[in-house]
Structure 1
Amino acid sequence: MADYVNKQVIELNNINEENQNKATRSVKTETHRSDGRTRLYRLAAVCLGVLCLLQVILNISLRLAFYNRGNVTVEKDLLQTSYNTLTKERDQLQTSYNILTKERDQLQKERDDVMTKFSNLKQTCPEGWQIKLGSSWYFLSTETKTWKESRQDCLKRGADLVIINSDLEQEFLLSFNKRAWIGLTDSVTEGTWKWVDGTPLTTPSYWYSQQPDNGRDNPKYGEEDCVELNTESWLPVKAWNDQSCLLNRYWICEKVV
């Protein structure tokens, strides 16, 4: 009986111990589960915080991006305005440069022309030539010929019979003190006086008194269609006389330089 009782006690103790162990394991399991849920909650909270932080950073970045974009647009507009202004100033400078270049070229050409004339004037005149005011060379012959022969001589010298254009030139030619042919004739049309270059006589003219008379007072030589500078008899300036082209006279050639 005692053994039976002891056996029952032992079994009962075993059952109680087993139940206690089960309860312990159950508590541990619940505790482990509770710890796992807590970690999950914490992880979720951390992730939510990180997401919020990222959203804040993204918002700030977007604001900065839009702000910088606005600044870039303003700077772009300022640069475009400056570029347009500089382009306009460049075009104005180019126009001024072109004008100055044209003026410079013109001045260069005028200078070259003056230097050429000056160089020509520095040359020694051929024998028998004289220079008048640095613009023309004059040749006074030492023999006499008809008006036509005289002109042929001038043409061979690269010149022509003198054309008188001013008081100063007329007075200069008077200093030669010769009865000499000049380049004036009305041989084509009577009474229409023309210079050897084809231009008509207008002004100035230096006819002696009662001239031209076409040989009215001395008709033995026929018509008087050529003009001589009669400085031997008629001074001072009024010294032109129409004369027969067949008479022999000295002559004056002119070469314009």
Structure 2
Amino acid sequence: MENPAPTKPAKPTKPKKPTKPAAPAEAPAEAPAKAEQPATITDEKTERVETPAPEKGTESIDNEASRKDSAAATAATADETHASGFQSMVAFITSPTGERFVVLEIFILTAMTLLIFLLYQKEMKKRVEIEMAMNMIRNIVVGIDSNYKDKDDTPALNCFKPLDFQILAAAQNLSEEMRYLAKRNDQLQKEIDTLTRNLKDGWVIFSNAYYLFSAELRSWMDSQKKCEREGAKLISIETVEEQFFINHQVKGRRKFFWIGLFKDKNENWKWLSGRLPEDEYWVYYSLHDELNHDCTAMTFDCIDTCWIAVECHLQMPYICKKVPNDAWL
């Protein structure tokens, strides 16, 4: 038998050198120093407790992070609200009620568009009519006043030019003059009709007035009222010629007639027109100074002086006189 080979003895291992403990890492330069808070001592046996204060930079960073988180949460909530609102609107539009609402909105918009179009067409038509009217007015004014003949200044549809206002002013003056003449013509026509009717009823024309020698019997006061209803007055004689005309008419009818001469409160004779008589034509036997003889009549039994004072209640015919008014002149 072979003897086993002898094994080599193991080499002794060298003991490892002890490693130096690692130096503690240096704190960052920018990190702020921790502020120490004073310890509170309750009694002699209580240990000193130091409460570390939070770092300044860390506090601001935490606040900013919390704000960002809050803003992000708000934005997410808003997005979810918008999304839910849009989904609600879509759901409403697709519902039968929403479809009817959409149709109604379309109908309203269509009606408003049509109305605006019609108003625009009406306005354009109105402006065209204004232009046509202005041209007609210009032609009329030029036909009356040739100073506007060579001043053609056709207005635009949306404005008037200075000359147009001059033409409008001239046209307005002509229009007012025409209205005045038309009014005067109407008044004159009425007076002509009244005159024609009065002539048929027995009125007599003399000088610039006409007279009615009535056939009915009335008192002096009633005679005055009757003349006023005819648009006249009980006669006031103003000239010698008129006096002779009245004498002639009274003598031809052989009646007594009331005239507008009366005695006022001061016992003075006065015409109804307010004038005092310049000449007096009392008949020789007239009692015009007697009491109660306050009204005057014309007698036919006279030559030139034919006034007679009598009591006002007596019944006799009367003479009305109508003088020209503005329509006659």
Q: TM-score, normalised by structure 1?
A: 0.47
What is the TM-score with the length of structure 2 in the denominator?
0.38
User: Greater helix share, 1 or 2?
Assistant: 1
- Bigger relative contact order, structure 1 or 2 (CA pairs below 8 A, ≥6 apart): 1
